[in-house]
Chain A
């Protein structure tokens, strides 16, 4: 059970405090309700580029990192399709430094042309390092475009193409900031060796005077139910053939999410999972094989991806996967198999909750979903899933017409 206190400032900023005096440290986590899904299709990659610009100086403070490091702190940030999260950890004595820094960059960035020019280059190198200069680096660009026809999960958080990042203009930066980076669209979580009263006073002092801004109302195109299987063949200079297949699943707050999560564990979580044991170990069709989903807020994708053993044909590999999928659609999973993945879930949650950093970001994420207390009821929701639920849900999602397949061929 993670304890916390919640209050909301007059300008709409939600503040959560999680006290833990066993640690000498404090974490200040600021989550903004904006991600790659909120981007203009012709200016993709912007939410992530923006995350870089948040370190390029704010209106009163030329450098974010330097004072934080001087206070013995460290920080980082990440951008997903759904949100952008900034966090710093520092000795609890120096927590006001984090309030000062975070509130100034919420007040306004410096909007430096130099920072924009440099960070465009840095992000282009990040793009190259992770997606262009790696074998199979483009597979998720292709899969997203195949699986989503209208929903903005169509593109990667890094952006659809380098040119979108390269063409970003300082006016875009300003407009994006004042639309999304307002108190009313943010959640502040403070965790560690702090007291709620102290946080309240600091939050009022530093964040209170910032103008509320306008609540961002998201209205994204809902991905229509897929009616027909989609398939794509690619040939590239890679050493091995690869097979990637996805099925649309429920959104984060829908009931099917928990079933989908447990199904991915049964299928692909660990050395005793069905896909690994049957297709890697027994039939030797794949040299590695994973089953996962991204935990996205809007409807996501259950994914199976792996590399084929040399000499195995794409058809053999595909049939192998199909057999495993059919089995889970036809028969209930055993009680023991279900207990196994529930035990694993219990353990994952316990290990995640060890650090204050992770507790802080989970609280922020659940608060964004609607209520921080969801963090405390999560395990119960998994516990309630029955073999019959899994059976029903596999029949619902693992339909061929709901699937997208990429055959990634190694160029001979």
Chain B
């Protein structure tokens, strides 16, 4: 057979696909807690997430929100921390909790057949956690030790500092944890935070997977009578205090062989009309393996194992960030190339071929991302917490398909001005 391997097989342009976002069902429990439900997938598995407005946005003192969230698994009036862990683990279930800026979550992953055994204990955690002093002491000690190890890592330091430069140390997006913060934690503050933001707090429930027929009634039975939704979310505004100095170099480890480099500029949130278009520009610049930053700085020069740019995923203010770890002797050269690539995007329109590649790649990623119940509910959760709906999805697909290189060049000139960027190297 005479096969010409130089000729590319026919490609169906991903931009011609008609992408559909599977709808998410919504119903309310008796107490008004909204439940969002996505029934999909072949495996007999479930994910249920309880979202509370209990992020660090609402704390009066550093790390109270994160500690309260962490300690939800450390004891109720009926079960010790060990018994809680053993209970979930016995059913092969995973109960995780995470604290973010605005929200904090409890997430259950389990086989669908065990759901009725598990829900009451999640309710117990939401209503009857006791935050034992002894558990708090162990947590404090172990977290302090962990922090001490992390403070030796240049990437950890760089991630903290760049956020501080952009938002200020008193802003929820810019603050970070010190050893002293752990010392100053006290149990009463955790209990008060728990009462306000969990026991009586605003709660949303997200469910995904192969949803059993009786899940809605089980959820209503176990959670629908709880005194949730009683307290309004406080209206708290923070002011930005960006750093005055834009260029910083820090030696954290005199023997370090690499530097953690971060460049960032403030960027509006997803309600801004430029937001979705800039996602395309960001992909061209540093958003995926084939991006210009990666092609130039990794694949051509070998300065780094990886370099990425991205828009921070915050509900309020955001930032456009470039992040890499590069060899100590090539940090300066790396930063020069980062600016050089900005300059090219400002001066030269993106060629049609490159732009169509990026668009196809982006649509292909969205398509892959719509595959599977957990990915779908993650997208819906993001939309709901940001106050948008599926129209946003269809707009964003249309924007990927229709935005031209002139418009992208204008956006580059608007946002990729080196003078607007903070620049940090931590060795």
Contacts and interface: CB of A to CB of B under 8 A. Distances in A.
B5 A126 contact: no
A296 B368 CA distance: 30
B24 to A, nearest CB: 18
Given A60-B6, A97-B9, A354 B45 contact: yes
Contacts of B356: 70
Q: Which residue, A104, A209, A277, A351, has most C-beta atoms of chain B within 10 A? A: A351
B301 A118 contact: yes
Contacts, number: 212
B85 A134 contact: no
A149 interface: no
B34 interface: no
Given A23-B371, A100-B8, A350-B43, A126 B1 contact: no
A370 interface: no
A239 B301 contact: no
Nearest to B5: A60
A339 B90 contact: yes
A255 interface: no
A90 B12 CA distance: 11
A107 interface: yes
B149 A238 contact: yes
Interface string A184-222: 000000000000000000000110110000000000000
A348 B187 CA distance: 35
B288 A287 contact: no
Interface residues of B, number: 75
Interface string B1-41: 10101101111101001000000000000000000000001
Contacts of B256: 133
A41 interface: no
Interface of B: 1, 3, 5-6, 8-12, 14, 17, 41-45, 73, 81-82, 84-86, 89-94, 109-111, 138, 141-142, 145-146, 148-149, 151-154, 253, 255-258, 288-290, 298-305, 325-327, 356-358, 360-361, 363-365, 367-368, 370-372, 374
22 contacts: A22-B42, A23-B371, A69-B364, A70-B361, A72-B364, A74-B364, A93-B12, A118-B300, A125-B303, A239-B149, A240-B148, A271-B85, A281-B138, A288-B142, A309-B145, A339-B90, A340-B89, A343-B91, A347-B111, A350-B44, A351-B109, A355-B372
Given A61-B5, A97-B11, A240-B149, 19 more contacts: A70-B360, A70-B361, A72-B364, A74-B289, A91-B367, A94-B14, A99-B9, A103-B5, A125-B258, A125-B302, A209-B3, A238-B152, A239-B148, A239-B152, A277-B82, A277-B85, A307-B145, A348-B92, A353-B43
